[in-house]
Amino acid sequence: MIDITLVDHDTAQDLGRIYDRVRNPVGMLKVVGRRASNELKTHFRSRNSRPNKLGGRRSNFWRQVADSVGNPIYEGGDALSRVRISINDPRFLQKVFGGTIRAKNADALTIPVDPLSYGRTVAVFQQTTGIQLFLLKKKGGGISNLLAGFPNAKQFKVYYVLVKEVDQDKDPEALPPRAKFNAAILDEGQQYLDREIIRGKSGQGNTTN
């Protein structure tokens, strides 16, 4: 498990001050945790609404990441109280940190280069389109790393490039903007405190001496 902290130092201090003032600090943290979880889901769903770079059918990767966001879990202790939110899609960390992707269970990775092949394995592509793929031959002889097929009788198209590994840059927008995320959870904490104050004043007003 890898921990990613989105809450900055100043926000943590401000939440700590609210935590010390509310009558139900655990309840406050749980409410803030739900807001944080919703902020993550909203961000991922917004990413999913963007068009694919290649066009064609959608893989809905970011929607799957949003669906994998777990419920906030309160973790309390004498020295530390916090809320942990898990993102359970194992592919997500690759987006956050980037890195090298290598072929493991096959001889090569198949990189789609056509809208029709985007989001499809070679087997699924051939089954759903009826286009049988083959490796193109090089002009000077030998086999290239290009998987092509005939969408019609007159021409062929390249649908995949085969590579042993690919270096993927980290996605700077994999996580929500830090400032916006921090403002949202601090706002939720302040709203919780404000509601407690209003309820307290209302209770005082109904008390008879």
Do 87 and 30 fall within a single domain?
yes
Q: Look at residue 60 and give its three-state secondary structure.
A: coil
Domain of residue 88 covers 9-92+180-203
Do 28 and 69 fall within a single domain?
yes
Radius of gyration from C-alpha coordinates of the chain: 25
Specify if 2 maps to a domain.
no
Specify if 121 maps to a domain.
yes
Do 81 and 107 fall within a single domain?
no
Do 27 and 86 fall within a single domain?
yes
Where do we find the tokens 């001050």?
17
With beta carbons less than 8 A apart as the criterion, state whether 33 and 83 touch. Answer: yes
With beta carbons less than 8 A apart as the criterion, state whether 30 and 82 touch. Answer: no
Do 87 and 31 fall within a single domain?
yes
The torsion angle over the Cα atoms of residues 147, 150, 154 and 158, rounded to 10 degrees, is -30
- The values of phi and psi at residue 146, to 5°, are -110, 125
Q: Among 3, 44, 65, 51, which Cα is nearest to 173's?
A: 44
Do 18 and 81 fall within a single domain?
yes
The span from the CA of 94 to the CA of 99, in Å, is 7
User: Could you list the pLDDT tens digit for every one of the 209 residues in the chain?
Assistant: 688 889 999 999 999 999 999 999 999 999 999 999 999 999 999 999 988 877 777 889 999 999 999 999 988 765 567 889 999 999 999 999 999 998 887 789 999 999 999 889 999 999 999 999 999 998 888 899 999 999 998 899 999 999 999 999 999 999 999 999 999 999 999 999 999 999 887 765 444 44
Do 118 and 20 fall within a single domain?
no
Do 85 and 185 fall within a single domain?
yes
Total number of domains in the chain: 2
Where do we find the tokens 């902290």?
5
Specify if 134 maps to a domain.
yes
Which ranges in 22-142 belong to alpha helices (H)?
A: 25-48, 61-67, 92-97, 122-129
